[in-house]
Every structure is written in C-alpha cells, then in structure tokens.
Amino acid sequence: MGEVKILGVKIDNLIMDEALKRVEQMMNDNKQHYIVTANPEFLVQAQKDKEFRGILNSADLAVADGIGLIFASWFLGRSLKQRITGVDLMEKICQLASQKRWPIFLLGGKEGIAERAAENLKQKYRGLEQLQWSSSLKNCSIGTAPKYLLFVALGAPKQEKWLVKNLKKMPSVKLAMGVGGAFDFLAGRVWRAPKILRAGGLEWFWRLALQPWRIGRIFRAVVIFPWLVILFKVRHALKARP
C-alpha cells in the first residue's frame, strides 16, 4: 500500500476497504493505536507546529481527508488512490464494530451532540449495543471491556494532542481517532454537502455557505496549502538543477 509524503507529512496510500482491513488488524493485535484524518489545514498547521507534525507522522493510520491532498499528490507526482473523509471512515468503522460487537465511546462535541450522534448510530447499525458518550473530558468514564473504539471530537490539533497524551491512561481503548466535526454530521446538526459537490472537491464551498465563520480555516486549506505545495515543488526543482 505504501505512503505518500506531502509537505513532510506521511499519508497512507490506500482506499477505504484497505483502511478498514488495517483497522481490523489493529483491533486484533496486542497494541494501542490511533488514526489521523489529515486534511490541508492539518498540513498547514504542521509546518509551524513540530509537535503536531510528529503526532501525524507517528499515527498508525493516516488517511487523506481532503480533496486538496489528492490534487497535491498528483501535482507532486505521487498520486494518492482515494480521498477518505473522517466522517465516512468513522461510519464504516462503526458499521464494522456493529458486526464485531466492539464497544464504542464518543467523546467531545458540544453539549448533547455526542448523545444525538450515538442515538442515530444505534438506529442505523443495530449491533452497536455498547455505545457510550460524554461531551466532557472531565466526566469521561470509559468502561473496562476490552477493544474499545474511541472517537474524539475536540478539533485539531487539540484532539490529536489529547489522544497521544492520554491513550496509555486508557488501557481498555484499543483504537482511537480524532474526528473533528463528525459528530455534528452524525447528529444531524450540520448537513453534509450534496454528493455532486463532494465528488467535485467543492465541499469546502458548502461548508463556507453554511458556516461563514469558517472562512479563516477554509482560506488556509484552499489558498495557503496550494501555495505551500507549489513553493515546495519549485524549491526541489531548483535544488535538482545541475
């Protein structure tokens, strides 16, 4: 499967089915693991935050959550196979968990959102019998059953830094993943972009229309990130000149 490096951050080069096989392998070994859903904003942040970059590069699985990463990989000549969004991966993992009877814990999000997301997931995937939630880090009490899946919605890079700092303190957690705003989608609080916009890489435009306060984050993703990629390629081309 291999990996692709973009702006010094590794991205696993795989499709959804391959990612799910990796999840199952991680759930069945004797270690703890965490997943990151890298997007252009992550990579921009990683250029100035060495701790965050180290966390991204140490992840057991890093998927390309953002069409910008796909375009960047093409531009750099190291094509990624597929965009895998955090919310899509989370749902697929929950579906797999319903079949395997893995317990799940949803942590973070605004008050009541994790609970609504959990209720919707239970209705959609009937095998999710052990599904807990908490919007508060202080009141988080994960059960002792083995092989917990932990989904944390605190926003990046806070959620990834929190996971790395606290994962070993939660021995019942087998696999953890930062999911950003996924709870909002799963709870029905925010509508996802129509499929045609997602397919065309215009989900950012939909998010901007619904949440104009995100303009700073979107600017970093659709303007600063491509500029950094162009500069990276130019610098390497100049270094390669005889």
Q: Which residues pair with 64 in a beta bridge?
A: 38
Convert 151-172 to b/e letters by CB count within 10 Å (16 or more is b). bbbbebbebbbbbbeebeebee
For the entire predicted model, the pTM comes to 0.93
What was the pLDDT predicted at 174? 97
pLDDT of 87 over the 70 cut: yes
Q: For 167-192, write each residue's pLDDT tens digit.
A: 999 999 999 999 999 999 999 998 88
pLDDT of 144 over the 90 cut: no
pLDDT of 235 over the 70 cut: yes
In contact, 114 and 134? CB cutoff 8 Å: yes
User: What is the arithmetic mean of pLDDT over 29-45?
Assistant: 97
**Of 196 and 186, the one with more pLDDT:** 186
User: What is the arithmetic mean of pLDDT over 26-40?
Assistant: 97
176: left (phi over 0), alpha (psi -120 to 50) or beta: beta
How does residue 238 score in pLDDT terms, banded at 50, 70 and 90?
A: confident
What was the pLDDT predicted at 213? 80
pLDDT of 201 over the 70 cut: yes
How does residue 62 score in pLDDT terms, banded at 50, 70 and 90?
A: very high
Number of Cβ within 10 Å of residue 114's Cβ equals 24
What tokens were used for 153? 């919605």
pLDDT of 6 over the 90 cut: yes
Alpha-carbon distances of 95 from 20, 28, 92, 154, 241, rounded to whole Å: 10, 17, 5, 23, 51
User: What is the arithmetic mean of pLDDT over 1-6?
Assistant: 89
What was the pLDDT predicted at 12? 98
Alpha-carbon distances of 94 from 103, 183, 206, 218, rounded to whole Å: 9, 13, 26, 28
pLDDT of 78 over the 80 cut: yes
pLDDT of 239 over the 90 cut: no
Q: For 208-225, write each residue's pLDDT tens digit.
A: 787 888 788 889 999 999
In three-state secondary structure terms, 20 is helix
pLDDT of 54 over the 70 cut: yes
- Mean pLDDT, the chain, rounded, equals 92
Measured distance CA(152)–CA(169) in Å, rounded: 15
How does residue 127 score in pLDDT terms, banded at 50, 70 and 90?
A: confident
How does residue 1 score in pLDDT terms, banded at 50, 70 and 90?
A: low
Q: What DSSP string describes 143-161?
A: -S-SSEEEEEES-TTHHHH
User: What is the arithmetic mean of pLDDT over 138-144?
Assistant: 73
